[in-house]
Chain A
Amino acid sequence: MTAKTPEQITNDLLRPLSGISAPYALWAALLAGMAVAALYAFFYQVYTGLGVSGLRSPVFWGFYITNFVFWIGLSHAGTLISAILRLSNATWRRPVTRCAEVITVFALSIGATFPIIHLGRPWLAFFLFPYPSERGIWPNIRSPLLWDFFAINTYLISSVTFLLLPMVPDLALVRDRSTGWKQKIYRAVALGWTGTPRQWHRLETAMHIMAIAVIPVAVSVHSIVSWDFAMAPVPMWHSTIFAPYFVAGAIFSGIAALILAMALLRKFLHLEEYLLPIHFENLGKLLLVMSLLWFYFVFAERLTTWYGNEPSEMAVFWVTQHGSYAPLFWAMVFCNFLIPFPILAIKKLRTITGTAIASFTVVIGMWLERFLIIVPSLSHKYLPYRWGTYRPTWVEITITAGTFCSMVLLYMIFSKIVPIISVWELKAGMHEEPHALRLAAQPDRVEAD
Chain B
Amino acid sequence: MAHQWGMVIDLDRCNGCEACVVACHAENNISTVGEEQAALSRAKHWIRVERYYEGEFPDVRVKFMPVLCQQCDAAPCEAVCPTYASYHTTEGLNGQVYNRCIGTRYCANACPYVVRYFNFFNPVWDKPLHLQLNPDVSIREVGVMEKCTFCVQRIKAREIQAAAEKRELRDGEIQPACVQSCPTRAMVFGDLSDAESEVSRLARSSRATKLLGELGTRPKVNYLPQDTWHDSENA
Asked if A139 is at the interface of the complex by the 8 Å CB criterion, the answer is yes
Asked if A166 is at the interface of the complex by the 8 Å CB criterion, the answer is no
Report the bound CA distance from A146 to B85 in whole Å.
Answer: 14
Asked if B79 is at the interface of the complex by the 8 Å CB criterion, the answer is yes
Main secondary structure of the interface of B (DSSP, over half): loop
Q: Would you give the shortest CB distance from A82 to chain B, in whole angstroms?
A: 31
Total interface residues on A, using CB and 8 Å? 43
Which of B70-86 touch A at CB < 8 Å? 76, 79-84
A-B contacts, CB under 8 A, total: 138
Q: Are A50 and B83 in contact (CB under 8 A)?
A: no
Q: Are B143 and A127 in contact (CB under 8 A)?
A: no
A234 and B102 contact, Cβ closer than 8 Å, known pairs A56-B42, A121-B143, A385-B50: no
Q: Are A50 and B109 in contact (CB under 8 A)?
A: no
Asked if B184 is at the interface of the complex by the 8 Å CB criterion, the answer is no
Report the bound CA distance from A324 to B136 in whole Å.
Answer: 45
Q: Are B212 and A50 in contact (CB under 8 A)?
A: no
A388 and B41 contact, Cβ closer than 8 Å, known pairs A138-B84, A383-B113: yes
Which of B106-138 touch A at CB < 8 Å? 106, 108-110, 112-114, 117-122
Asked if B100 is at the interface of the complex by the 8 Å CB criterion, the answer is yes
**Residue on B nearest A141 in the bound complex, by CB:** B82
Among the stretches A27-35, A167-175, A225-233, A276-284, the one at the interface with B is: A225-233
Report the bound CA distance from A98 to B29 in whole Å.
Answer: 56
4 cross-chain pairs, A with B, having the tightest CB-CB distances, nearest first: A120-B103, A120-B143, A51-B120, A121-B143
Chain A residues with CB under 8 A of B145? 120
**Residue on A nearest B141 in the bound complex, by CB:** A121
Chain A residues with CB under 8 A of B120? 49-51, 55-56
Q: Would you give the shortest CB distance from B10 to chain A, in whole angstroms?
A: 19
Q: Which of the four size classes fits the interface of chain B?
A: 35 or more
Sample (30) of A-B pairs whose CB atoms are under 8 Å apart: A49-B142, A50-B103, A50-B120, A51-B120, A55-B105, A57-B118, A58-B108, A60-B109, A60-B118, A120-B104, A120-B142, A121-B102, A128-B82, A138-B84, A139-B83, A140-B83, A142-B79, A143-B79, A143-B81, A145-B82, A232-B106, A233-B215, A234-B112, A382-B113, A382-B212, A382-B215, A383-B50, A383-B67, A383-B112, A383-B212
Chain B residues with CB under 8 A of A124? 102
Chain A residues with CB under 8 A of B179? none
Which of A114-131 touch B at CB < 8 Å? 115, 118-122, 124-125, 127-128
Q: Are B42 and A142 in contact (CB under 8 A)?
A: no
Q: Would you give the shortest CB distance from B49 to chain A, in whole angstroms?
A: 10
Q: Would you give the shortest CB distance from B11 to chain A, in whole angstroms?
A: 14
